[in-house]
Structure 1
Amino acid sequence: MQIEWQKEISQRKDALLADLTEMLKIESVRNEKLGSKNAPFGPGPRAALDKFLEIGKRDGFAVLNVDGVAGHLEYGTGIETMGILAHVDVMPAGKGWDTDPFEPIIKDGKLFARGSSDDKGPGMAAYYGLKLIKELGLPTSKKVRMIIGTDEESGWRCMTHYFEKMPLPDFGFSPDAFFPLINGEKGNVSFNVDFQGGNGAGAKLLDFSAGLRENMVPRDAIAHISGIELKEIKELLTEFADDKPIEVEALEQNERIEISVIGRAAHAQEPKNGENAGTYLALFLKQIELGSGAEQFIDFAADYLHEDSRMDNFGLHFSDKTMGDLTMNAGIFNFAAAQGGRVTLNFRFPKGIGASQIEEALAKVATKVNAQVNTTGKLQEPHYVSIEDPLVKTLLGVYERQTGNKGYGMVVGGGTYGRLMKRGVAFGAMFPGTPDTMHQANEYMLIEDILKAAAIYAEAIYELIK
């Protein structure tokens, strides 16, 4: 039976975009302050999970909601189970958007909204691939479970809870990354570096904040200082920012000076793609004598973190031939004169190095600035599936047939649900050459790419379960 996958998906374009639009309108950002027993991560993630399962139930799939944190829709029968693991939670929108991030809009063939490329767009594309197989009544020999999480952008507690109650699939993929295919993912660990508070006798750092999540390069940073004239700050700031890729501003507010820096957000898997507003602000403030814990907090950020994504300043530059570099992202900065400060650092590490070595290198530097290193309790070891695995070969074969381009495997610093399965990979949905706007303002996905991905997913799923 010859199936024109792309033609079949194009005939379902309007329905796919309608369902995706409904998903994108849900502000499914984790907010545990508004959480409840039925919605532990907040009402937004729960609403997005409910909507996705509602769509599946409407289309005749068997669905299961696991305590409001995860769920699945199921198709087919068989001894083996294939998993398709996606997530419906999204990163905070942040600043810098040209449109409302939760009012999807199509401009120049691009669908703009938070979650359009990470991961609601790819997730819906994979769902329509599975839906197409069901609608065509194609014969299958294996069961498929599309498993939906609501805490992927944070601690993956959704999947921890789900797999305490449900078995792991035998193999599968996550539509939450790049084509052709990701068969290797670095390890992932975060540490907090904690500082004492206080200032010296002169200028004082009252507070400092930057970053929304540890797995994002901070776009915005703000500090409030006192004991120095606004005119002096403005002169220093103008000179400082003249040759740097940032925007700056200083203004007087309630007998204190507010200094703000705007950089460029990026995913923590490659901090070089962003401009860290937090470290730039620290670099500027280093010109001012502060004293005590404030000075130590600023010195650490400016001297050790600024433009050092490879831990060169910590003496721990490390690279593996297969999995690439160890990377460090300074994701969250907070300081208050009375309470002290904290910097949260996120690391993506290849095989050959471990979390204990990273912690040891951090601790050596931390002692120099009277700080302490504490674990956040999050650790994922490196994950790798051989390029010769039949799963990998099948997926790359489908990609090559439908795109006409050479398929190949990749190793990335980002972490996807694919790593939860021993034979699990990440497969799409961003195509080579497409700008990566995940975790950034004005996130978008090309409509054409959503449809192309759905067609690839449809054929790939069928090839794996027929």
Structure 2
Amino acid sequence: MQQYPIGAYFDDKQDLLVEAVSRLVRIESTLGQPQPGKPFGEGPAAAVDEFLSIAGELGLAGENLEGYVGVVDLNQEETALHILGHLDVVEAGDGWSVTEPFIPKVLDGMIYGRGTDDDKGPMIAALLAMKAVKDLQVPLTKNVRLIAGTDEESGFRDIRWYYERHPFAPYTFSPDGDFPIVNIEKGHYQPTFRASWPQQTALPRVCSFTGGPRLNMVPPKASALVAGLTMEAIQAEIDTLPWQGITFTLTRKDNRVSILCTGLGAHASTPEEGRNAQTALLSLLARLPLADGSSTRAIRTLASWFPHGDFIGRAFGIAQEDALSGPLTLSFTRLNLDDTGMEGRFDCRTPLCGTEESVRLFTEEAMVQAGFSIQGELDPPHHVPADSPFLRVLAKCYEQYSGRKSQCLAIGGGTYVHGIPGGVAFGATMPGFVSNLHGPDERASIRDLLTAAKIFTQVIIDLCS
């Protein structure tokens, strides 16, 4: 096969990459209210428009498909490869120090800002790879289509819409994970459970509880309002807690005590990297001398099921693991409670050995016995055999331009390829790099993004020419 000067081509492309990524980062593309032609709100729609504008400036043909996704194609031949990424982002969150979340900044070889790593930076790397193939005049016999989604962070409705109307490609990868190759994505179990009760009036009691804002994020903050106890009594219980990285702030509010718990956010698939403010506050409340009642019993039950620091479902009884995909993880991420009821959700990532019986049915039985109603299905794990021909091509290209040995990885996070036949996550984060995904000061290595662009260029050539 003919060799092309891919490395030399990208020698002067750093400024182009940084400017393109910066243009996307400046758009606050979080989920918004649906509008005609903008199914996920103003921000994601603006990001798609800007992405297609960049593609056009690079000489590439793009199209907006009813606001759900933008697509960029290299030619009109039969499509062999889908590159599948997203332009929507999670909320900014607190704790940013290097720059503001939507003001990109270059520092020490990295570009900072929300979306630089997840997934705007990698999408620009893929776009530049397509430009490289065109500029190098590689004769393709098949098309590659870059699909820019808008709802990855909030349910994949964009991609479901797309694949209901368009066929799968023979090969698909998503630059929305880590290098080398993610061929196993754990299953997802994210049920909603509820309980209701008569108006609670007994004292002392928890009048309200507000937990995390997102299902797939370890809650960095949680708050509760307690009646019938003094600040001194609550503080005395706080002083006995052994946890690191958790703070409590007490304030008097209308003869009640407001408790704000602050921890550290993280992606729900890696709960050990965060400090779950919701479980910490729940555990504190369960220790307080509250009056017996439905809300108190619910709080103490939940605290026993989801104790602070338990990331693997041991206390709940669903801990399990296997050699290929690792342990089950469990993040209790949503809880809202008041004097008449509660609603909660947790984010569980299940290994290949996780089954309907050992996860979903076990959970439902425990919840119902404790007086909760529960709804939610188990989305099974995604697994592509490591020895498939497609993965061998990806491995070769990765090794050629990274200088590293390839291997297959299992993750708890779910990418766009979850459920897409033969699809894998492929980059763009290099091994060992900490991107602060979903956290403050999210960042991407400019050098690594350029390396990813070289890798993607070679993949396109190997699969489509």
Shorter-chain-normalised TM-score: which range?
A: over 0.9
Q: 1:336 to 1:170 in 2, by over 3 A?
A: same
Distance (whole Å) between structure 1 residues aligned to residue 259 and residue 5 of structure 2: 57
1:400-422 Cα offsets, whole Å, 9 max, x none, are 11122110011111111123431
Query: Equivalent residues in 2 for 1:30-179 (5 A)?
Result: 30-31=31-32, 34-98=33-97, 99-179=99-179
Indicate if the aligned counterparts of 1:213 and 1:331 stay in contact, CA closer than 8 A.
yes
Q: Which residue is equivalent to 1:325?
A: 327
Q: Which residue is equivalent to 1:455?
A: 454
Q: Which residue is equivalent to 2:353?
A: 352
Indicate if the aligned counterparts of 2:4 and 2:136 stay in contact, CA closer than 8 A.
no
Q: 1:464 to 1:215 in 2, by over 3 A?
A: same
Indicate if the aligned counterparts of 1:183 and 1:385 stay in contact, CA closer than 8 A.
yes
Tell me the CA shift for residue 243 of structure 1: 4.2
Q: Which residue is equivalent to 1:246?
A: 246
3-state SS of 1:314 partner: coil
Indicate if the aligned counterparts of 1:206 and 1:226 stay in contact, CA closer than 8 A.
yes
Indicate if the aligned counterparts of 2:245 and 2:263 stay in contact, CA closer than 8 A.
yes
1:358-398 Cα offsets, whole Å, 9 max, x none, are 232223332454222122x6x53222112111111111111
1:123-149 Cα offsets, whole Å, 9 max, x none, are 111111111111211111211000111
1:208-236 Cα offsets, whole Å, 9 max, x none, are 11212111111111111121112222232
Aligned-residue Cα RMSD (Å) equals 1.9
Distance (whole Å) between structure 1 residues aligned to residue 373 and residue 297 of structure 2: 12
Q: Which residue is equivalent to 1:402?
A: 401
Indicate if the aligned counterparts of 1:189 and 1:355 stay in contact, CA closer than 8 A.
no
3-state SS of 1:329 partner: strand
Amino acid at match of 2:441: N
Tell me the CA shift for residue 63 of structure 1: 1.9
Indicate if the aligned counterparts of 1:105 and 1:112 stay in contact, CA closer than 8 A.
yes
1:247-304 Cα offsets, whole Å, 9 max, x none, are 2211112332111111121112222222211000001111221432321332233211
Q: Which residue is equivalent to 1:419?
A: 418
List runs of 5+ in structure 1 lacking aligned partners.
none
Query: Equivalent residues in 2 for 1:434-453 (5 A)?
Result: 434-453=433-452
Amino acid at match of 2:225: H
Distance (whole Å) between structure 1 residues aligned to residue 235 and residue 92 of structure 2: 30
Q: Which residue is equivalent to 1:308?
A: 310
Indicate if the aligned counterparts of 1:92 and 1:212 stay in contact, CA closer than 8 A.
no
Q: 1:97 to 1:290 in 2, by over 3 A?
A: farther
Amino acid at match of 2:311: S
Note if 1:180 corresponds to 2:180: yes
3-state SS of 2:101 partner: coil
Distance (whole Å) between structure 1 residues aligned to residue 201 and residue 364 of structure 2: 25
Moved more, 54-63 or 122-131: 54-63
Amino acid at match of 1:390: P
- The size of the alignment, in residue pairs, is 460
3-state SS of 2:144 partner: strand
Distance (whole Å) between structure 2 residues aligned to residue 95 and residue 336 of structure 1: 26
Q: 1:107 to 1:248 in 2, by over 3 A?
A: farther
Q: Which residue is equivalent to 1:210?
A: 211
Moved more, 21-30 or 76-85: 76-85
Indicate if the aligned counterparts of 1:102 and 1:114 stay in contact, CA closer than 8 A.
yes
Tell me the CA shift for residue 87 of structure 1: 0.3
Q: TM-score, normalised by structure 1?
A: 0.94
Indicate if the aligned counterparts of 1:77 and 1:141 stay in contact, CA closer than 8 A.
no
Distance (whole Å) between structure 2 residues aligned to residue 300 and residue 365 of structure 1: 11
Amino acid at match of 1:345: F
Distance (whole Å) between structure 1 residues aligned to residue 85 and residue 216 of structure 2: 18
Query: Equivalent residues in 2 for 1:314-393 (5 A)?
Result: 314-338=316-340, 340-355=341-356, 357-375=358-376, 380-393=379-392
Distance (whole Å) between structure 1 residues aligned to residue 168 and residue 8 of structure 2: 33
3-state SS of 2:336 partner: strand
Distance (whole Å) between structure 2 residues aligned to residue 270 and residue 5 of structure 1: 35
3-state SS of 1:153 partner: helix
Q: Which residue is equivalent to 2:280?
A: 280
Tell me the CA shift for residue 52 of structure 1: 1.0
3-state SS of 1:406 partner: coil
3-state SS of 2:239 partner: helix
Indicate if the aligned counterparts of 1:173 and 1:418 stay in contact, CA closer than 8 A.
yes
Distance (whole Å) between structure 1 residues aligned to residue 210 and residue 66 of structure 2: 35
Indicate if the aligned counterparts of 1:48 and 1:89 stay in contact, CA closer than 8 A.
yes
Indicate if the aligned counterparts of 2:279 and 2:306 stay in contact, CA closer than 8 A.
yes
Indicate if the aligned counterparts of 2:220 and 2:265 stay in contact, CA closer than 8 A.
yes
Q: TM-score, normalised by structure 2?
A: 0.94
Indicate if the aligned counterparts of 2:306 and 2:316 stay in contact, CA closer than 8 A.
no
Distance (whole Å) between structure 2 residues aligned to residue 290 and residue 402 of structure 1: 64
Distance (whole Å) between structure 2 residues aligned to residue 79 and residue 88 of structure 1: 26
Amino acid at match of 2:379: Q
Q: 1:292 to 1:196 in 2, by over 3 A?
A: farther
Indicate if the aligned counterparts of 2:62 and 2:72 stay in contact, CA closer than 8 A.
yes
Q: 1:290 to 1:459 in 2, by over 3 A?
A: farther
Amino acid at match of 2:135: E
Amino acid at match of 1:329: S
List runs of 5+ in structure 2 lacking aligned partners.
none
Q: Which residue is equivalent to 1:195?
A: 195
Q: 1:247 to 1:110 in 2, by over 3 A?
A: farther
Indicate if the aligned counterparts of 1:24 and 1:113 stay in contact, CA closer than 8 A.
yes
Indicate if the aligned counterparts of 2:399 and 2:405 stay in contact, CA closer than 8 A.
yes
Distance (whole Å) between structure 2 residues aligned to residue 413 and residue 345 of structure 1: 14
Distance (whole Å) between structure 1 residues aligned to residue 8 and residue 419 of structure 2: 33
3-state SS of 2:409 partner: strand
Amino acid at match of 1:319: E
Indicate if the aligned counterparts of 1:26 and 1:44 stay in contact, CA closer than 8 A.
yes
3-state SS of 2:332 partner: strand
Q: 1:131 to 1:148 in 2, by over 3 A?
A: same
